Chain A
Amino acid sequence: MKLQLPDDVLRPVARIEGGIRVSHNKITSECPVRRIEAPERVVIPMLQHIGAPCTPVVKVGDRVLAGQLIGDSEAYISAPIHSSVSGVVKSIAPVVTVGGRMINSVTIENDGLMEYDPSIAPPVINSREDVIKAVRASGLVGLGGAGFPAHAKLNFPKDVEIDTLIVNAAECEPYITTDYRECIENSWDIVSGIHSLIEYFGFKRVAVAVEDNKPEAIRVLDEIAATDRYMDNIIRLIVLKSKYPQGAEKMMIRTVTGRKVPPGKLPSDVGCAVMNVGSVAFIARYLKSGRPLISRTVTCSGSAIAEPANLRIPVGTSAKAVIEACGGYKTDPYKLIVGGPMMGFALYSDEVPLTKQNNALLAFAPNDKGIKRERACIRCGRCVAACPMNLMPVTFADKLKKDPSPQELNDLGAMVCMECGSCSYVCPAGKPLVQSMRRAKDIVREGMKK
């Protein structure tokens, strides 16, 4: 593997501290992305990102076109939502979404015509502000899973210099292969996206980061980096040791640039921006076509799925429809998960709409439980060694038994936890350590409110 030599901007470190080795189970890596037929009905939640929910701008009975704006918000941290099909609005009502929250959603009956909004046109770009405006209008949110509105990510504070863009193709969660397919199938979109971003944002370096378990993606990304080798050598390929959670934003910045984002700070505070490889490719496509984000790639996999696959689905397609497109269930599923197995949400039912944020839908058979019998903590220290944020999960679990003060938990670093799940994964006693971290964070948040 290529080891990138450090320069004045990038000082890659060998690997993250802590973290865990998980079995990758990327069984769909060689499945080309297949477009599924739009379902008869799409349910489009008005919250598909981190931030403020959108308000519907259509009424029941309206005919909407594919790509037409159906929800928007005045709030800054928010992203507009577009119809993914053409058809008639049947209802606007709260619906159970991934994660169990009831969210106001627009249900659209598909007329099967897939008629695009005629006003869709490539945006006119002359400046950085135009790019940010266009990205907002596209409805793009981070496609890696967290769903942070992309325009807010790109709107850097005026007084800081952002010298590095990291294009994140690490995809460290098991099973998921959407970024991998993006690299292989849409490599020229990625190139074009990177070049546009360099043009308008003036990054000194663009680091395309990928884990070393994806040789084919490395080959393709190396070609992408080579598009710049005879110009300024701005674009660099960084091959990272595969270790979960390498793809997490703070870990990524640490390994690629050697910088550490302090608690409560943003990547821009250390001069970095991190974008998912799929988001970069989408920006390129949007700048060319003006078609907003109304479909996305989802990996449908797991031991209970008959034919695991990578699918291009319209936003608002139900989990059930996606699984049916993969040949249905092989066996009765024991667990359904949206997102990766390390950080994803378990579903109560498969009648849940998938959104822009969701990169995977996994179904596990009963013999694939992932539940351990809970025993006494033997203080083996595996959770401490596994924590990429240098926390001591075992200490939090101990403290929580004794009604701790918010200050005490905050001093121990509770808010630094990103809930990556490494501690729970390694715990031989089967302790729900991530849950105790969440509880600790809640206590700190409640304490801050007072």
Chain B
Amino acid sequence: MANVISDETIEYVGILAKLELSGAEKENAKQDMEKMLDYIDTLNELDTAGIEPMSHVFPVNNVFREDVVTNGDGHEAALANAPKQKNNSFEVPKTIG
């Protein structure tokens, strides 16, 4: 069955993705997604009942180590990449009214 992506869905996915798409971009995104989902739906031909989802090929275990500081104070180098900084901190727009 052909997938139909509504304006509301694209709006909602845009919020999740933190992307602001223009009108033309939204139309393209709808078409792209419909086409891709139609293609992805071929997976429904496969019977996967009882198959465990495999997130990693090898067993992944938590890797623990002692919590010992090995790096020095890198705040100057880290802040050097910030688009805006103030008082030794990243500067962001006001978040609390």
Q: Are both chains from one complex?
A: no
B interface vs A, CB < 8 Å? none
